Structure 1
Amino acid sequence: MTSPVRRQRTSGTMERQAYRTRNPLAEFDELINQMGGLIESTVGGVPSTAMPTWIPLADVTETDDSYQVDVELPGMKSKDIDVEVSGQELVISGEIKERERRGILRRSTRRTGRFEYRMLLPGEVNTEGVKAQVSDGVLTVTVPKTEVAKPRHIEITENKSGR
C-alpha cells in the first residue's frame, strides 16, 4: 500500500523563471569552496601553485614491449610540459596559461591553469628508454618494459607417441 504524497502548490510561472536564470553549477562551486575552506581550517593552507586544478584526459595502452600513454593537451607546446618517471610512477604536469583577450569574455569552457596526470604503471619499466612527443594536441609517452616484465611465449609441442 502506498502512502499519499502532499504536493506544495506554488505559482508555476515564478518557479520556472527562477529556474531559467539560476546557474545549476553554482551550487557545486559553492560546495567545493566550502569544502576547501573546511580542509584548510583543519589541515592548514596549501599554496595554490602546488595544487593541480585539473586532470587531462588520457588513454593507456599496453603492448608486449611497452606502455603507451596518450594525453590530450590541446594548444600545449613541448617546453610547457614536464614528464617524469620514477620507478613505476609516471607524472605529466604543466600549465595552460590564460590567453590575453580584447573585449569582454562572455563564455569560457576551455581548461586553463595547472594540470597533473599521475599513474602507477602495472609492471617494471626501463626509465632510461622513455620517449615523449607532442603532435596535434596529443602528448604520447612511450615507456618500455624491462626484459623481466616482457611476456615470454612458450611453444607447446605435441607428443606423437601417445603419452
Structure 2
Amino acid sequence: MIYTELQPLVLDILNKDERSLNERLYEVCNLLREEVAHYDWVGFYFRNGNKEELILGPYVGAPTDHTVIPFGRGICGQVAVSNENFVVPDVHAQDNYIACSITVKSEIVIPLFVNGENIGQIDIDSNTIDAFGEKDEQFLEFVNTEIANRWKG
C-alpha cells in the first residue's frame, strides 16, 4: 500500500474520538507495521514531563528494554535534542546507536511537535538496510502533524 492510500486510514483511526489517544496511537502503529513492508518496529516515545528523558509509548513489534531513553542517547535521544528528523541508513555505522535487536539494520525518527514544542517522536526500525527515504519522511511528518492536531496532553 502506498502512503497516499494510508493517509485516509490514519485519519480514520485518529478521528475515533471515543477511543483514548493511546489506543489510537497503538492502532496507527499496527496499521503502519502491517501495511508498510519495511516497517518492522513502530512506536512512539514521549518526553517524560520536565525531565530530559523519553518514555516508551504505544508500539508494535518485538519487545524492547528501552522504555526510558535519556536526551542525547541513541537516535531517539538525539532527535529529542536536535528537533530534526533523523534517517539512519545503517545503524551499525552510528556511534550513538542503542541496539534494540540484532535484526535492525536502519531506523527513522521523526519528532512530534505540539505548539512548537517537541513532545515526542515516532520511531521506526527496519530489518532492511537503507530502508527509508524522502517519502517515508513526508508520510511520517503527516502522521505526526495529524496526531499533534488531536493532542490534548
Larger radius of gyration: 1
- More helix per residue: 2
TM-score, normalised via structure 2 length = 0.23
